[in-house]
Structure 1
Amino acid sequence: MVSPVKADTVDAFNGLAAIYDQSRPLYPPECLNVLESRLPFPRGSNTGLDVGCGTGILTRQLAAHFALFDKIVGIDVNPEMLKQAAIRTTDTRVRYEAIPAENIGKHPAGPFAFIIAASAANWFDRPKFYSGASASMIAGGILAFLINRRRFDSDAFLSELEDYLETSVPGYARGRYSSAVGEYSETGCFQEELIDAPNFVDIEEHRVERLISMPNSDAIDYFLSFNDLKRASKMKGQARVRRDLSDLVSRHFGESELVQFPVTAIMTSARYSAVCAG
């Protein structure tokens, strides 16, 4: 039976696909290098899976990085995001499908050499996702999570942004993420989860400190692509939220042409063990 997907998960990024795709930065190539270095050799599969692919930002990066792979598949539950992904993708090795993360078990394109979820796993029912991943990977294949953590504890601009989110979005607290049940949780402790998942071993965490830099004119759209600020816009009106963000950016960056802030890219990866799977 196909697992139902909550409407909050499907609709979370409705209306945001264009600005999401245009304003979100690429993921650090160091993380893709780590993923490649961990793949088994010989792989036995030349197919990778990007789960919760959104507009295909990482999917396209994966296709460029793994140039010898036969296929890179991106899946998501939001039709608007997938439509934008298809528009932006020219590589014929890439294909997109509307499939929930929890339903990847025995995917016809598999088995996969790697499965990766970037800035998306907070929306998953992860016990079901781990089970599905186990059923659709090659022995020794790599399951990876990639997230960007805003370093609000060391940056005055990000700290004030978090203040704004906490006062504007019901239930929000800094360091927490939206979940599939419409609440906020402290997602990101994937190491602990993978230790308890029966079929995954050799768990590693890699961190890349980054300074995100973007034109001042693009920064507001970047922040408005957050699902949290979409919720704030529903309550206050997008014009008000845009004005609030513009004031925040002006206070910290003045007439500067660039907005810059620090984030930590965290990649947690584990190896699928067919022995553990029995």
Structure 2
Amino acid sequence: MTDVHQQHAESFGAVAAEYDAARPSYPDALFEEIERLTGRPLKDADVLDVGAGTGIATRLLTARGARVIAVEPSQGMADQLRAVTPGFPVVKAGGDELPFHDGSADLVTYAQAFHWTDPAKSVPEAVRVLRPGGSLALWWNLKDREAAPWLQEQEDRFAATLPSYHYYGTMNAVTEPLDAYELTTATAVLHWERTVTVDSAITDLRSKSYFAVVEPEARERLLEHERAVLLGLFPDGRIVEPYRLDLTVATKG
């Protein structure tokens, strides 16, 4: 992990409340696809939700009947998860070194988080803790820039003004190491949308690592400019955000 990547990875603790308040959730269809691609129900499955953050996916997996342990390296994010979901099991760790026994999980999940790991370490760790027939599920909510040109224009602004702006795309680079572990891999793409206020959209942006690492005065200046742009585009203050959700499921033989 480069110094810049590490700085971004460590930036979330300070914006955990904003992250929990404004990041997008996941549609029911995602969990139906996970069950279809893994060939087993989430109910009564032992799940390690790695890079759980503030528990957005963790709570949804639990609601499907899974027995979930949240795994999160950031103290700030873990604290927010515990504040929102008191008593929920949280282990402070990252995916590159999972503190769990071999063959102890039916499913290892990464919601918006696999790109913060070193796949050369996190993939074999996931394979190690999975039981035979268990699966590794990776997914990303990606704002659908093809469906909404204003999102592409927003990305262009960020790329021009934020020194360490990055966009991960479909994560092909980080999923390539799956091929080396005799895993049966399947993918799915889902499309969904949410309606948010301009204020919520700005809070969401404030929780992004590429804003979190910017000096506060400059960050607020950029966010106020973005607020003005969004209000110009959406004068009623409500935004429809389309998403493309990319899911990869790799099952252990």
Q: Could you state the TM-score of these two structures normalised by the residue count of structure 2?
A: 0.88
Match of 1:139 among 132, 155, 160: 132
| In structure 2, distance between residues paired with 1:225 and 1:82 | 15
1:43-192 equivalences under 5 Å are 46-65=45-64, 67=65, 69=66, 71-90=67-86, 94-104=88-98, 107-108=100-101, 111-172=104-165, 176-177=167-168, 187-189=171-173, 192=176
Distance apart, 1:211 and its partner CA: 1.6
Shift of 1:103: 0.7
Paired position in structure 1 for 2:245: 265
Q: Distance in 1 between matches of 2:249 and 2:206?
A: 30
Q: Which amino acid aligns with 1:215?
A: T
8 Å CA contact 2:102–2:130 kept in 1: the answer is no
1:187, CA displacement in angstroms?
2.8
Q: What is the CA–CA distance in structure 1 between the aligned matches of 2:39 and 2:244, rounded to whole Å?
A: 27
Counterpart AA for 1:268: T
Partner SS state of residue 103, structure 1: coil
Query: CA separation in 2, counterparts of 1:145 and 1:62?
Result: 14
Q: Specify the SS of the correspondent of 1:14.
A: helix
- 1:223 corresponds in structure 2 to 205
Letter in 2 for 1:253: F
Shift in Å at residue 153 of structure 1?
3.4
The residue aligned with 1:198 is 181
Deviation at 1:216, TM superposition (A): 2.7
Q: Say which is worse superposed, 77-86 or 245-254, in terms of deviation.
A: 245-254
Aligned length: 248
What is the rounded CA distance, in whole Å, between the counterparts of 2:104 and 2:237 in structure 1? 46
Listed as ranges, the matches of 1:246-265 within 5 Å are 246-254=227-235, 256-265=236-245
Q: For 1:15 and 1:245, locate their aligned partners in 2 and report how far apart those are by CA, in whole Å.
A: 21
Give the distance between the partners of 1:225 and 1:9, measured in 2 at CA: 11
Deviation at 1:238, TM superposition (A): 2.9
The one-letter amino acid paired with 1:96 is V
CA positional deviation for 1:235:
7.3
* Separation (CA, whole Å) in 1 of partners of 2:196 and 2:11: 24
Please list every run of 5 or more consecutive structure 1 residues that lacks an aligned counterpart in the other structure: 1-5, 178-184, 274-278
Would the alpha carbon gap of residues 251 and 171 (structure 1) be closer, same or farther in structure 2, given more than 3 Å must change?
A: same
Identical columns (%): 23
Q: Which has the higher helix share?
A: 2
CA distance in 1, matches of 2:234, 2:219: 22
Provide Cα deviations, 1:89-141, integer angstroms capped at 9, x if missing partner. 14x5x41111111112x604961110110111111101111110111001111
Once superposed, what is the RMSD of the aligned Cα atoms? 2.5
The offset of 1:41, in angstroms, is: 5.5
State the distance in 2 between where 1:135 and 1:122 align: 19
Unaligned runs of 5+ in 2: none
Give the alignment's TM-score, normalised by structure 1: 0.81
Which structure is richer in relative contact order (CA contacts within 8 A, separation 6 or more)?
Answer: 2
**Distance in 2 separating the partners of 1:268 and 1:226:** 23
CA distance in 1, matches of 2:239, 2:232: 11
Q: 1:128 is aligned with what amino acid?
A: K
Rounded Cα–Cα distance in structure 1 between residues aligned with 2:96 and 2:198: 38
Distance (whole Å) between structure 1 residues aligned to residue 89 and residue 172 of structure 2: 28
Q: Distance in 2 between matches of 1:50 and 1:240?
A: 35
Question: Does residue 28 of the first structure (1) align with residue 27 of the second (2)?
Answer: yes
Q: Report SS of the residue matched to 2:14.
A: coil
